[in-house]
Structure 1
Amino acid sequence: MSDHPLDEALRLAPLDVGRFSGRTTPEYWNMGGPFGGVTAALVLKAVLDHPERRGRPVAQTVNFCAAVGEGPFEIAARLVRDGRSTQHWQVEMTQEGRGTVTTGSVVTGAERQTWAHAAAAPPQLPPPDAVPQMDTAGRNAWLSQYEFRVLEGRTDFQLEPPGEIASAASRLWVRDRPERPLDYAALAALADTFIVRILLVRGYFVPVATVSLSTYFLADEAALARQGARPLLGLADARAFRHGFADQSAELWADNGTLLAVSHQVTWYRD
């Protein structure tokens, strides 16, 4: 069993068919609970560990109903529809005294060789070694579990209100720290490593949280194996901030130009 911090955070013990127990870890702690990417990865892993699961992950939506508290939790994964091409799963994370803290849905699908076309072009970035690492010392613990090499996008959020409005866009290299070969659970977590866009735009901290995160997995197992532990190219942006909610979209690319995953989320903020 790997002793990588991510694998420790994703450790699930079976309680019954489709029911698992786990425990939060301090390495991936955020402001008021665990880093949402690890919660998303746990939702996916409960499906991946289910004995009835067929195929690879295709799509996942995670709804963050409440902050996950420190300590134990349970996850239940239920197969709600089993088709020839896809399986549809419902997942729920609960904690004693808190009730339901996270819900999710996962679609898995059989691998098939079909017509393919790459309509999108990969981002153009200098090689990772040419981009300095972002300093994560003194920040929320989960940031130190990733290596960020940011080419575009604000990384300092120390301005005083009202701040200076900046772009919501980011271009960067990102990977697990320590290095870890890429798999679907890690990819699900990486899809949420893009800092909430309002912090980039305004340049100072406000209360923020992800409400719902959807990730679409475009990579097969072979593409993940080819990427290994090398950094991924990441793009993120937002379109509107309004009425206390904002959108956020991201792309994760292999360093050979293969699009591995895209994600879309809605975030909440308080002004």
Structure 2
Amino acid sequence: MPKKKTSLVPGPKSLLSLLILAVIGFGTWWWYKSTLPDFVRYDAFGIDIPTEFSIHGIDVSKYQDRINWEAVKEMEVEDVRIGFVFIKATEGLGNMDACFRRNWEKSAEAGLPRGAYHFFLAPKSGAEQAENFIRRVELKRGDLPPVIDVEQSYGVSGDKLRTEVKAFLDRVEAHYGVKPIIYTNVDFYNRYLKDQFDQYPLWVAHYLRKDRPRIARNWAFWQYSESGNVNGIRPRVDFNVFNGDSTDFYNLLME
């Protein structure tokens, strides 16, 4: 008896299933596309900039060398200008960035809202690193909250890292009277800090693809490029945006 041939033409139920999957797939793609920020090329800044944010900023350290802060403040291209700056202050137990004092003073003289950050070394005491930061940084009304930059584990366990980060945050918050900002990248946050530090404002790095940071929680700042140009700064510089309007930004500043 000859075998019954199998039809290669899908039946009505199969066609319906394929149609449903196609609609779902298209809907997911359209939602994802519609939530992506629009980027526009600004040749003067040398990068593509997400246009749906109104407050733009940079972060600097000694690697940007001697900065002309008046030129930074005066640069404006169409609707984009530098509205804030994060400045590296300290690292580890006793180091201070070689350009911190000058950057801290001159950025304020130029009228830029400024924030100071500490580069965290996970194997070292978080409380002692906090003291290093506190000794060097005097925050005033109108400054951004203090920042911990934690992006490497240096081989320590997750529990050890979280313990020392919490010690740093607690000491700094007690001293300045405000919750510090955590700076890190998406993968590091999800691996080491997720759930236990969600109550802190987040400054997140994500610049390999043109989409929003791939993170479930809210974020305050987004570092989206490491290769921008700004008048008054010779080397390349990191670019950031604030996730909110001018009222939100004002409410974040030190009182």
TM-score normalised by length of structure 2: 0.26
- More relative contact order in 1 or in 2 (CA 8 Å, sep 6+)? 2
TM-score normalised by length of structure 1: 0.25
Larger radius of gyration: 2
* Higher helix proportion: 2
